[in-house]
């Protein structure tokens, strides 16, 4: 839906164009039409009425709440004025029938698709109603249109059957022109909208890159200026805690201080991860190994809340081209978030399966994707927050419990892998995150997936038994 500013600009452009058209009509009537003809007098009256209404629209356009209503109303009202002018200047053979097409094109250009469709139906109804009214009332003859329109003059001398045939023929012809114009403009506007959308996406990506570069410079200074003293503080706290009796008041206070220090360290790390442009080199990765590493990493937190993790893993997942550390970070973040949201004794389910693409070229077409699902029995996410959870610095965990960068980093990493992430949630019914990652093809039968993987300092190492 266009913004208020866009609608206001469209209204100004429409009123300016409208004023210019009325000016050209005045010149046309002045230089080409006979002044004493009743049809011409009616034309002048309609033009002056259009000018007065234009001034009213300029005033009403200052009220922003009315702008969205004024746009379709002006187009429909002008259609009525044009219909009246066509009726008295020749009806089905009026030289001013193309003005209807001008209004139709204006509606397509400046109105949202649904509103434009409704307005076009209204303009078409006014157009057909005008021709029917002309035929029934014989208005061109009443207003002596034959004096300014030689075709109308010939038409008035013909029989009733000839007149009816011409009206029917012209109605079909102009209806065809209407359909052709609407279709052509609709296709062209669709291309324009697609191009504008691509430009907006590109500009947004460039803006995000500039933001990341600036953040990278800032976070580099933060890492140097903050991590070093935080590390020293953490080390000294550990020494003090070792020398202090466990369970004492001092030990509890030191433990609390250590928790705050670790939270600060995690915050700095999250900011660094978000500002980092690349995570590592792309290489062929066996996803099942990364999932095993994630499961091993979350066991302490899982035991702390008394929860249970169900692993539903296809043992022969195909390899994918990916950042190993990046995928580990994605899955670890999502699983930890699921564990944080479940109550005591809650349940988290992690599943990963291969699925073919929806459109396969042949039975031998092995292109597909890995579908990873993280489901929890937690409190869920309110519907109003679902659209914002991937925004940087937006957190659903409450004050002091998160930096709001975790899911933003997850979204960015998934996008870098040309994948897709979806979320479904409602209060009281838990949350489901779904990842779709493109693959290299099907795994070979009997693929060797029996070795374990260990995550140490951001590097993956295989260790066979």
Query: Could you tell me the CATH number of the domain that includes residue 221?
Result: 1.10.287.130
Q: How far apart are CA 153 and CA 168, in angstroms?
A: 18
Q: Are residues 62 and 138 located together in one domain of the fold? A: yes
Q: Where are the alpha helices (DSSP H) in 245-371?
A: 249-275, 287-305, 324-341
Reference 80, options 37, 51, 110, 50; nearest CA is 50
Q: Which domain holds residue 242?
A: 206-274
Q: Are residues 129 and 100 located together in one domain of the fold? A: yes
The pLDDT tens digits of the residues spanning 141-156 come to: 889 888 888 888 888 8
Task: Give the residue, 445 or 358, on which the prediction is more confident.
Answer: 358
In a domain, 370, yes or no: yes
In a domain, 77, yes or no: yes
Copy the structure tokens of residue 231. Answer: 């590390």
Query: Could you tell me the CATH number of the domain that includes residue 398?
Result: 3.30.565.10
The pLDDT tens digits of the residues spanning 202-241 come to: 887 777 677 766 666 666 666 667 767 777 787 888 888 8
Q: Are residues 267 and 292 located together in one domain of the fold? A: no
Range from 21-30, 99-108, 224-233, 333-342 carrying the lowest mean pLDDT: 224-233
SS3 category, 320: strand
- Say yes or no to pLDDT of 121 above 90: yes
Average pLDDT value for residue range 91-117: 89
Task: Give the residue, 39 or 356, on which the prediction is more confident.
Answer: 39
* CA 270 vs CA 264, 315, 396: distances in Å: 10, 32, 16
Over pLDDT 70: what percentage of the chain? 80
Q: Are residues 259 and 299 located together in one domain of the fold? A: no
- Say yes or no to pLDDT of 45 above 90: yes
In a domain, 168, yes or no: no
How many separate domains does the chain show? 3
Reference 357, options 387, 318, 331; nearest CA is 318
Average pLDDT value for residue range 12-28: 90
pLDDT at site 251: 81
In a domain, 232, yes or no: yes
Alpha carbon 341 to its chain centroid, in Å, reads 29
* Exposure class string for 371-410: b at 16+ Cβ within 10 A, else e: bbbbbbbbbbbeeeebeebbebeebbeeeeebbbbbbbbb
In a domain, 179, yes or no: no
Residue matched to tokens 């296809």: 314
Reference 212, options 409, 418, 457; nearest CA is 409
Beta bridge partners of 322: 283
Compute how many other C-beta atoms are within 10 angstroms of the C-beta atom of residue 221: 9
User: 273 pLDDT band (50/70/90 cuts)?
Assistant: low
Q: Are residues 291 and 236 located together in one domain of the fold? A: no
In a domain, 178, yes or no: no
User: 464 pLDDT band (50/70/90 cuts)?
Assistant: very low
* CA 280 vs CA 64, 71, 276, 448: distances in Å: 51, 53, 10, 25
Reference 89, options 159, 177, 155, 22; nearest CA is 155
- Say yes or no to pLDDT of 462 above 70: no
Q: Are residues 370 and 303 located together in one domain of the fold? A: yes
Q: How far apart are CA 159 and CA 60, in angstroms?
A: 49
Q: Are residues 245 and 152 located together in one domain of the fold? A: no
SS3 category, 315: coil
User: 326 pLDDT band (50/70/90 cuts)?
Assistant: confident
pLDDT at site 7: 80
Q: What is the average pLDDT value for the chain, to the nearest integer?
A: 80
Q: How far apart are CA 298 and CA 309, in angstroms?
A: 9
- Say yes or no to pLDDT of 172 above 70: yes
Residue matched to tokens 């479940």: 342
pLDDT at site 373: 92
What is the DSSP pairing of strand 347-356 with strand 308-313? parallel
Copy the structure tokens of residue 166. Answer: 């011409």
Q: Are residues 104 and 136 located together in one domain of the fold? A: yes
Task: Give the residue, 199 or 49, on which the prediction is more confident.
Answer: 49
- Say yes or no to pLDDT of 81 above 80: yes
- Indicate if the alpha-carbon torsion angle 321, 354, 327, 419 is positive or negative: positive
The answer to whether the pTM exceeds 0.95 is no
SS3 category, 252: helix
Beta bridge partners of 308: 347
pLDDT at site 445: 39
pLDDT at site 446: 39
pLDDT at site 120: 93
Range from 392-396, 414-418, 436-440 carrying the lowest mean pLDDT: 392-396
Q: Where are the alpha helices (DSSP H) in 89-159?
A: 98-110, 113-137, 139-142, 150-157
What is the DSSP pairing of strand 452-456 with strand 420-425? unpaired
67: left (phi over 0), alpha (psi -120 to 50) or beta: alpha
Q: Are residues 290 and 432 located together in one domain of the fold? A: yes
pLDDT at site 58: 92
Residue matched to tokens 């021709």: 131
Q: Are residues 246 and 342 located together in one domain of the fold? A: no
In a domain, 387, yes or no: yes
Domain boundary among 157, 180, 197: 157
Reference 273, options 389, 183, 392; nearest CA is 392
pLDDT at site 397: 56
Domain boundary among 157, 175, 196: 157
Domain boundary among 157, 191, 223: 157
pLDDT at site 381: 82
Q: Are residues 235 and 383 located together in one domain of the fold? A: no
In a domain, 376, yes or no: yes
Beta bridge partners of 355: 369
The pLDDT tens digits of the residues spanning 357-410 come to: 665 555 555 567 889 999 998 888 877 777 777 776 555 555 444 444 568 778
Q: Pseudo-torsion of CA 204, 205, 211, 213, nearest 10°?
A: -160
The pLDDT tens digits of the residues spanning 182-205 come to: 899 888 888 888 888 888 888 877
Task: Give the residue, 5 or 187, on which the prediction is more confident.
Answer: 187
Q: Are residues 222 and 109 located together in one domain of the fold? A: no
pLDDT at site 393: 56
- Terminal Cα-to-Cα distance of the chain (whole angstroms): 60
């Amino acid at each position: 839906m266009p913004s208020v500013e866009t609608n206001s600009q469209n209204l100004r452009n429409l009123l300016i164009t409208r004023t210019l058209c009325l000016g050209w009509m005045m010149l046309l009537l002045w230089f080409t039409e006979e002044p004493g003809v009743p049809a011409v007098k009616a034309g002048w009256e309609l033009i002056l009425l259009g000018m007065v209404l234009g001034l009213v629209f300029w005033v009403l356009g200052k009220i922003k709440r009315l702008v969205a209503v004024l746009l379709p109303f002006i187009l429909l009202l002008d259609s009525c004025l044009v219909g009246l002018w066509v009726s008295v200047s020749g009806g089905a053979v009026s030289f001013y029938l193309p003005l209807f097409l001008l209004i139709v094109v204006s509606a397509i250009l400046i109105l949202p698709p649904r509103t434009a469709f409704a307005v076009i139906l209204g303009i078409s109804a006014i157009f057909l109603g005008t021709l029917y009214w002309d035929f029934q009332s014989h208005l061109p003859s009443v207003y002596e249109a034959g004096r300014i329109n030689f075709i109308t003059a010939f038409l008035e001398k013909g029989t009733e059957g000839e007149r009816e045939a011409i009206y029917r023929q012209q109605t079909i012809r102009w209806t065809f022109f209407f359909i052709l114009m609407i279709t052509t403009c609709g296709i062209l506007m669709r291309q324009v909208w697609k191009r504008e959308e691509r430009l907006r996406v590109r500009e947004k990506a460039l803006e995000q890159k500039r933001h990341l570069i600036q953040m990278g410079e800032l976070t580099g200074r933060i890492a140097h200026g903050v991590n070093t003293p935080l590390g020293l503080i953490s080390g000294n706290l550990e020494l003090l805690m070792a020398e202090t009796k466990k369970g004492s008041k001092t030990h509890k206070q030191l433990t609390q201080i250590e928790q705050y220090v670790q939270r600060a360290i995690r915050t700095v790390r999250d900011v660094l991860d978000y500002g980092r442009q690349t995570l590592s080199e792309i290489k062929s990765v066996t996803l099942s190994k990364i999932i095993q590493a994630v499961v091993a990493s979350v066991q302490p937190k899982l035991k702390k809340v008394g929860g249970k993790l169900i692993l539903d893993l296809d043992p022969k997942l195909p390899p994918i081209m990916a950042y190993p550390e990046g995928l580990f970070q994605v899955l670890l973040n999502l699983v930890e978030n699921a564990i944080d949201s479940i109550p005591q004794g809650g349940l988290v389910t992690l599943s990963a399966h291969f699925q073919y693409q929806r459109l396969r070229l042949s039975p031998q077409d092995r292109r597909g994707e890995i579908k990873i699902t993280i489901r929890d029995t937690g409190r869920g996410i309110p519907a109003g927050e679902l659209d914002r959870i991937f925004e940087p610095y937006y957190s659903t965990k409450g004050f002091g419990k998160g930096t709001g960068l975790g899911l933003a980093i997850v979204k960015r990493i998934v996008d870098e892998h040309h994948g897709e992430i979806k979320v479904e949630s409602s209060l009281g019914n838990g949350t489901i995150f779904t990842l779709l990652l493109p693959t290299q093809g099907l795994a070979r039968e009997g693929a060797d997936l029996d070795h374990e993987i260990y995550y140490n300092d951001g590097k993956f190492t295989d260790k066979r038994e």
